[in-house]
Amino acid sequence: MPTLRYAGRDLAVQQGESVLDCLLRHDIAISHSCKAGACQSCLVKGSEGPVSEVSQRGLKDTLRAQGYFLACSHRPNADITVSPVGTEARTQAQITGRSLLNESVLRVRLRPEAPFSYFAGQFVSLFREDGLARSYSLASLPNDQEIELHVRRVMGGAMSEWLHQHAITSTSVWLQGPSGNCFYVPGNTEEPLVLVGAGTGLAPLYGIVKDALLQGHTGPIWLFHGALNPTGLYLTSELRELAEAHSNFHYIRSVLRDADPGEFEVGPLEQCLLAKIPKFAGWKGYVCGDPALVNSIRKKLFLAGMASKSIYADSFVPSAPSASCNSPSTPITP
Ligand SMILES: Cc1cc2nc3c(=O)[nH]c(=O)nc-3n(C[C@H](O)[C@H](O)[C@H](O)COP(=O)(O)OP(=O)(O)OC[C@H]3O[C@@H](n4cnc5c(N)ncnc54)[C@H](O)[C@@H]3O)c2cc1C
């Protein structure tokens, strides 16, 4: 009889029983609805043990790659460890480096004190010692020694101002996650990829581009990075070098104003995107950054033929006002 390990409990699975039914039989509350693999409300994450193909049917490839499956559709015939979504432990990390990438974007390097696995392009919740937390995207690669974040300074912003002005090398923070589905999934090396972001929307895209190239992606990869003016762009030399080294990688800098049209694409990012690539049928897209821009680009990609399941997006939605530094927060305990 297989064992289902859930939240530290070992549960015996009956012959032919689904993970969901086993949890419910043991009075464990878990969200569910259709029990037929359609509504996806019983999504859980498997960390050890095989997961059936049918229980991952209809899930995005990025969810499948992380071991997510539908509890109603998996009937274990081997031991399995399962956790609910969004209950990752926090890992302590030390700030090991801070340097400006342009006048408002800070590169923050962190060294976690325990192994921290992630896919390039996912995001983490960064917790300060007093419990203040914000999400930041991962610009580094999983095998890099340090985690890299790009933090834009928001005037009056509790976390970003603190990181820019007060945090120092050796300051301790905590990381929770990773989360998000914006990352490269190997297996379809010839698929054309387009990545679009403005400002620090580049952070996850930078990680995804490096990862795709490292994993031998041979299809075209187009990166569009937008900013108001040229000073808002960053990592331009690194990206140009990458484009010189890989003939399938194309790096487009798009600015709204104050630029020489010979050197930059001048005009709205969406316009620049569609001028370069009018049709996106068969493409995969990654869009990150400002929520309004992300929504607009998603629509444009869809209308230009990209399947909605092929669009991966992270909107950098600001935290609710109650999440400010003056609000009562839970101090972190390691
Ligand atoms: C999935 C995800 C990934 C993210 N990745 C990144 C990243 O890689 N890099 C990065 O710099 N940020 C990223 N963010 C945004 C980040 O989480 C914070 O919201 C941001 O750093 C501001 O936090 P703060 O504490 O400094 O400002 P807060 O104290 O939260 O806000 C201060 C004031 O500024 C306003 N404000 C906050 N953000 C903005 C904004 N973008 N534009 C206009 N007004 C704003 C608030 O409404 C508030 O009035 C991400 C957000 C999400 C949800």
Mean pLDDT of 273-299: 97
Instruction: Give the residue, by CA position, lying nearest to ligand 1 atom 9.
Output: 151
Mean pLDDT of 80-105: 90
* Region of poorest pLDDT, from 36-40, 120-124, 199-203, 264-268: 36-40
* Region of poorest pLDDT, from 137-151, 170-184, 319-333: 319-333
**Which two structure tokens, joined as six digits, stand for 112?**
């976690």
Strand ranges in the chain using DSSP code E only, listed in sequence order: 3-6, 9-12, 43-48, 68-70, 80-84, 90-100, 105-112, 123-127, 133-137, 147-152, 172-179, 193-198, 221-227, 249-255, 265-266, 284-289, 311-315
Q: What is residue 321's predicted lDDT score, i.e. its pLDDT?
A: 63
- Evaluate if residue 333 carries a pLDDT over 50: no
pLDDT in tens, 212-232: 999 999 999 999 999 999 999
Cα angle at 178 between 220 and 173, to 5 degrees? 125
Q: Is the Cβ atom of 329 under 6 angstroms away from ligand 1?
A: no
Q: What is residue 322's predicted lDDT score, i.e. its pLDDT?
A: 52
Q: What atom of ligand 1 comes closest to residue 203's alpha carbon?
A: 8
Higher pLDDT, 114 or 110: 110
Residue 66's pLDDT band (cuts 50, 70, 90): confident
Q: What is residue 239's predicted lDDT score, i.e. its pLDDT?
A: 98
- Mean pLDDT is highest, among 119-123, 263-267, 320-324, for 119-123
Mean pLDDT of 273-296: 97
Give dist(CA 113, CA 327) in Å, integer.
Answer: 28
pLDDT above 70 covers what percent of the chain?
A: 95
**Do 164 and 134 contact (CB within 8 A), yes or no?**
no
Q: Is the Cβ atom of 314 under 6 angstroms away from ligand 1?
A: yes
Whether cis (ω within 30° of 0) applies to the bond prior to 178 is: yes
Q: 125 alpha carbon to ligand 1 midpoint, in Å? A: 12
Q: What is residue 324's predicted lDDT score, i.e. its pLDDT?
A: 52
**Which two structure tokens, joined as six digits, stand for 243?**
């484009």
pLDDT in tens, 166-199: 999 999 999 988 888 899 999 999 999 999 999 9
The residue count for the chain: 334
Q: 55 alpha carbon to ligand 1 midpoint, in Å? A: 36
For 239, the enclosing helix (H) or strand (E) is helix 236-245
- Evaluate if residue 5 carries a pLDDT over 80: yes
Q: What is residue 253's predicted lDDT score, i.e. its pLDDT?
A: 97
Q: What atom of ligand 1 comes closest to residue 200's alpha carbon?
A: 9
Instruction: Give the residue, by CA position, lying nearest to ligand 1 atom 32.
Output: 157
- Mean pLDDT is highest, among 45-49, 96-100, 175-179, for 96-100
- Evaluate if residue 47 carries a pLDDT over 70: yes
- Evaluate if residue 27 carries a pLDDT over 80: yes
Q: 246 alpha carbon to ligand 1 midpoint, in Å? A: 33
Residue 323's pLDDT band (cuts 50, 70, 90): low
Q: Is the Cβ atom of 152 under 6 angstroms away from ligand 1?
A: yes
Q: 92 burial class (0-12, 13-18, 19+ CB within 10 angstroms)?
A: middle
Instruction: Give the residue, by CA position, lying nearest to ligand 1 atom 14.
Output: 316
Q: What mean pLDDT is reported for the chain?
A: 91
Q: Is the Cβ atom of 136 under 6 angstroms away from ligand 1?
A: yes
Q: 77 alpha carbon to ligand 1 midpoint, in Å? A: 45
Beta-carbon contacts of 68 under 8 Å, excluding residues fewer than 6 positions away, are: 43, 44, 45, 46, 56, 59, 85
- Mean pLDDT is highest, among 47-61, 210-224, 320-334, for 210-224
Describe the strand order of the beta sheet including 43-48 as a list of residue ranges. 9-12, 3-6, 80-84, 43-48, 68-70
- Residue in 183, 316, 324 to alter for ligand 1 test, most ligand atoms within 8 A of Cβ: 316
